[in-house]
Amino acid sequence: MLRKMIIIALAPALLSGGAVLAQTHASWPIDWNNWNDPLLWCTIGNPGNAPDANRVYTDPDPNANPRSFEFGSVAYTFRIGRFDVTAGQYTSFLNAVAKTDPFGLYNPSMSHLEDPYDWSNAGCNIQRNGVSGNYSYNVDPNWANRPVNYVSWAAAARFCNWLTNGQPTGPEGAGTTETGSYTLNGAMDNYTLLQVNRNPGARYVIPSEDEWYKAAYYDPNKPGGAGYWDYPYRSDDEYDNHICNPDPGHNANFSGCGYTVNSPYWLSEVGEFENSASPWGTFDQGGNVYQWNEGIIAHYGSAFRCVRGGSYTFMQLAMTAEFRGFLFNGPNPPDSFNHGIGFRIAEVPLPINQVPNVNAGIEKKIMLSAGNTSMLAGSVSDDGLPNPPGVCTASWNMISGPAAVTFANPSAAITTATFYVSGTYVLQLTANDSQLNASSKVTVSVLAPGDFNGDGKVDGVDFLIWQSHYPMSSGATCDHGDANGDGKVDGVDFLIWQANYHG
């Protein structure tokens, strides 16, 4: 069945009414900012599941060529947030990086608490204090565990970068918000943001559309066989939007026969519908706020980042698997925001970090009379993991030998080594990616001047080696009788042999 499923995320369902807040909710973590807490995550298994073939989507690309999609197939096991990112979690992010906020992570509309009958500007009550360079942020405790809204796709990506980088404190920039899972580098315009893709080695991410869709609708244990539900609370039927204690199941915060939550909150606390989880245990993938994903919708010459899941201002139909949404708001859609849009994050499996490849090169022979220096032609390659740091270092050292060795650049795979005493040296090249390391060894035989056969003596045998190759105008080595390393076997080499001859 071929369908065209695009909605404009600003088309309201103007209904009034509401329900009384209840006190029950899904189990919450003790520390909302401890992203290692398993209560913040749901594991989405069954890798390689089939896509939802019952819902085929099409949208026209900018050249009016139709593109068709089937969503939900994910080849790997991953984790997705059990809840939407909360206003409290986002406030912690702002306090860590947005003392100046050049990239608009805070939207003033977040602070709005408007007319009790006007949902259209209702924020999440995050307040900003101070002046640029010394901003601070706080959220009322009664809003802290409700989803953040007025967050753009770009701000959500920067939040993911911050988590991937270890939740650092510091200005918005490289290592905090601009690098990590996504390379943003200050991107704010529509065209640039639409080119942003998930980096190799990304960890915390905005879910892909397939990841989000699978977590919401796919059920490996669906009666009749694995498949997809219409709604993200394990049902193909419409239910209710009332908050009850306990939750009877199959409920969500949407605009049905009145609003689920009235002024001043409008948004319900995450996990409020404790018995209305998805097949994997996620809450609120339907209703409350739309959620950004990495998908892109091409719409009659324009392109938009995708949202899914419906919101507190929309009818129940917006929560179904059939609906894809985008935000038609302002000149820069990926950097646009809305009272009805928030986000949740995913944690994707890191590619398995492989041991670096290292090769110290082939064995060498040199003579002390040939400048005492040997080229070391090592090589190091790596898979770029882990990232950060995404860098593999090289280092040379001596394992054994009769005297010290000087490396021109011990941190370069290709360098030179200088020797001062004849003998056999074993040198080692080590590659380290901050987690794994590997080493390779090379033997360098440093011969006494005139000892062409390397037996530790300068005698008649060495003369015969020189004599058998004399004259040689190019390509000569010490094995041929080249004592001074100029690539030739000539009279100069004989004089070196003669000066060191011991009989």
Judged on CB neighbours under 10 Å (0-12, 13-18, 19+), 60 is middle
- Sequence-distant (6+) residues with CB within 8 A of 110 are 87, 123, 124, 125, 126, 148, 149, 150
Q: Is the dihedral of CA 164, 274, 30, 342 positive or negative?
A: positive
Output phi, psi for 398, to 5 deg.
-95, 130
Maximum alpha-carbon separation in the chain: 111
Output phi, psi for 440, to 5 deg.
-140, 145
> For residues 220 and 46, is the Cβ–Cβ distance under 8 A?
yes
The pLDDT assigned to 339 comes to 81
- Sequence-distant (6+) residues with CB within 8 A of 273 are 233, 243, 247, 249, 251, 252, 253, 283, 284
The predicted model scores a pTM of: 0.69
> Domains along the chain?
352-447 (2.60.40.10), 450-503 (1.10.1330.10)
The pLDDT assigned to 63 comes to 56
The pLDDT assigned to 209 comes to 95
The pLDDT assigned to 155 comes to 96
The pLDDT assigned to 7 comes to 42
The segments of the chain whose pLDDT lies below 70 read 1-23, 59-67, 114-121, 257, 300, 327-336, 350-351, 370-371, 387-388, 503
The pLDDT assigned to 114 comes to 60
- Sequence-distant (6+) residues with CB within 8 A of 314 are 12, 13, 254, 255, 340
Mean per-residue pLDDT over the chain, rounded: 86
* Cα(87)–Cα(229) distance, integer angstroms: 29
Q: By three-state DSSP, how is residue 69 classified?
A: strand
**Pairing, β 379-381 against β 56-60:** unpaired
Task: Give which of 191, 203, 261, 189 is closest to 18, Cα–Cα.
Answer: 261
> For residues 278 and 232, is the Cβ–Cβ distance under 8 A?
yes
- Sequence-distant (6+) residues with CB within 8 A of 437 are 355, 356, 430, 431
The pLDDT assigned to 328 comes to 56
- Sequence-distant (6+) residues with CB within 8 A of 315 are 13, 254, 255, 256
Q: Is the peptide bond before 246 cis (omega within 30 degrees of 0)?
A: yes
* Cα(414)–Cα(431) distance, integer angstroms: 13
